[in-house]
């Protein structure tokens, strides 16, 4: 473990571990900790044995990646997990037993009633009730709720119908490489190799994110309703989503129709979004200003635009929200949760 002195205003520096440190989200967690001046007393980088020994820079120091084991969590205050649901299920209990608090980016514990599911701008207060594990929500859900929640507070949310445009980085570093290689293969007339996705993703769209349930929805699609109910404390929320992978490297976009209990107004909707933390209104169609994934990549704040009174459903607004799913959809939200502890 590498000791790193901190010079922040924040008190009680924490001994951190990152599980899945070499993955797309793990790397972003390091950048977010640096950028937000998180008070780090020490940092342990954990990954599969395959990645062990690899060195990763943090605040100017090289830290060697260690292989994840049941004994990796001795002396750790906070463990940020982002290595898939299986790893979280197997190793989070060991981390908790060793005295660490786990912030888990996988779907493993999100529906566990003992585990708070937190978007700090929405339900930060619930973090206090944790019993060792806190869950970070699904990326598309987190980004969508950043726009939906202030509108819910104003008008009372009833129903969401949404379609996503999800970047390949949501799948991980291998998917980014697959898109790059497929584009290159097509440009040079070579055969397209498919390893990460079941079909070509370059110059194509796949209405297929995560695995399918018996009712025809994917697990990813149902996260908006299941996780949205918990995060916004809306047990009756109904949400029908179509999740689609698009050939974009980074940042997800979502077309959202949200139906409310009360009549809506554009003026009020703009007002509450402008006042809400973590979300910016980018909405000036006459100047071609609207959220786009290439503009949201690397940005902490999500963006909402194309805001309009829905023409088909009473008391409804339709809009377009985009955000960096590696940041608000994953690493940033996880570090924000850690900041609450």
- Binds a second copy (CB under 8 A): choice among 4, 173, 244, 272: 244
Catalytic one of 94, 139, 282, 302: 139
Could you say whether residue 291 binds a second copy (CB under 8 A)?
Answer: yes
Q: Which listed residue (96, 98, 196, 309) binds a second copy by CB under 8 A?
A: 309
Instruction: Give the 3-state secondary structure of the chain.
Output: CEECCCCCCCCCCEEEEEECCCCHHHHHHHHHHHHCCCCEEEEEEEECHHHCCCEEEECCEEEECEECCCCCCCCCCEEEECCCHHHHHHHHHHHHHCCCEEEECCCCCCCCCCCCECCHHHHHHHHHHCCCEEECCCHHHHHHHHHHHHHHHHHCEEEEEEEEEECHHHCCHHHHHHHHHHHHHHHCCCCCCCCCCCCCCCCCCECCCCCECCCCCEHHHHHHHHHHHHHCCCCCCEEEEECCECCCCCCEEEEEEEEECCCCCHHHHHHHHHHCCCEEECCEHHHCECCCHHHHCCCCCEEEEEEEECCCCCCEEEEEEEECCCHHHHHHHHHHHHHHC
- Indicate whether 217 belongs to the interface with a second copy (CB under 8 A): yes
228 counts as binding a second copy under rule CB under 8 A: no
In the list 225, 280, 325, 333, the residue contacting a second copy (rule: CB under 8 A) is: 225
Of 57-76, binders to a second copy (CB under 8 A) are none
Q: Does the active-site annotation cover 139?
A: yes
Among 86, 207, 263, 277, binds a second copy (CB under 8 A): 207
- Is residue 243 part of the annotated active site? The answer reads no
Q: Does 4 bind a second copy (CB under 8 A)?
A: no
48 binds a second copy (CB under 8 A): no
Closest CB to a second copy among residues 57, 205: 205
Counting contacts by CB under 8 A, is residue 161 touching a second copy? yes
Q: What does the binding site for a second copy look like in residue numbers (CB under 8 A)?
A: 159-161, 163, 165, 183-184, 187, 198-200, 203-208, 212, 215-218, 222, 225, 238-240, 242, 244, 246-249, 253, 255, 257, 266, 285-286, 288, 290-294, 305-313, 316, 318, 320
| Catalytic residue annotation | 139, 252
């Amino acid at each position: 473990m590498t000791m790193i002195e901190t010079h922040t205003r924040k008190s009680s520096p924490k001994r951190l571990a990152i599980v899945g440190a070499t993955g797309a989200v793990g790397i972003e967690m390091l950048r977010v900790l640096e950028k937000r001046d998180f008070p780090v007393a020490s940092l342990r980088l954990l990954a599969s044995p395959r990645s062990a020994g690899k060195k990763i820079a943090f605040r100017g120091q090289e830290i060697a990646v260690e292989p994840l084991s049941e004994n990796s969590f001795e002396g750790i205050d906070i463990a940020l997990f982002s290595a898939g649901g299986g790893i979280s299920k197997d190793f989070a209990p060991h981390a908790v037993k060793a005295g660490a608090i786990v912030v888990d980016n996988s779907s493993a514990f999100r529906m566990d009633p003992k585990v708070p599911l937190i978007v700090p701008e929405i339900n930060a207060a619930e973090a206090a009730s944790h019993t060792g594990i806190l869950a970070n929500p699904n990326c598309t859900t987190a980004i969508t709720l950043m726009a939906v929640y202030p509108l819910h507070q104003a008008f009372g949310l009833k129903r969401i119908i949404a379609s996503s445009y999800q970047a390949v980085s949501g799948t991980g570093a291998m998917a980014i490489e697959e898109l790059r290689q497929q584009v290159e293969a097509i440009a040079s007339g070579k055969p397209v190799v498919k390893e990460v996705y079941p079909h070509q993703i370059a110059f194509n769209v796949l209405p297929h994110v995560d695995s399918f349930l018996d009712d025809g929805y994917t697990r990813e699609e149902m996260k908006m309703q299941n996780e949205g109910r918990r995060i916004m404390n809306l047990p009756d929320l109904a949400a029908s989503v179509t999740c689609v992978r698009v050939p974009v490297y980074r940042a997800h976009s979502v077309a959202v129709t949200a139906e409310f209990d009360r009549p809506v107004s554009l003026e009020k909707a703009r007002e509450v979004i402008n006042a809400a933390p973590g979300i910016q209104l980018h909405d000036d169609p006459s100047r071609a200003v609207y959220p786009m994934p290439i503009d949201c990549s690397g940005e902490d704040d999500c963006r909402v635009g194309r805001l309009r009174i829905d023409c088909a459903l009473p008391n409804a607004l339709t809009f377009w929200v985009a955000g960096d799913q590696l940041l608000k959809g994953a690493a940033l939200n996880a570090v924000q949760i850690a900041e609450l502890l």
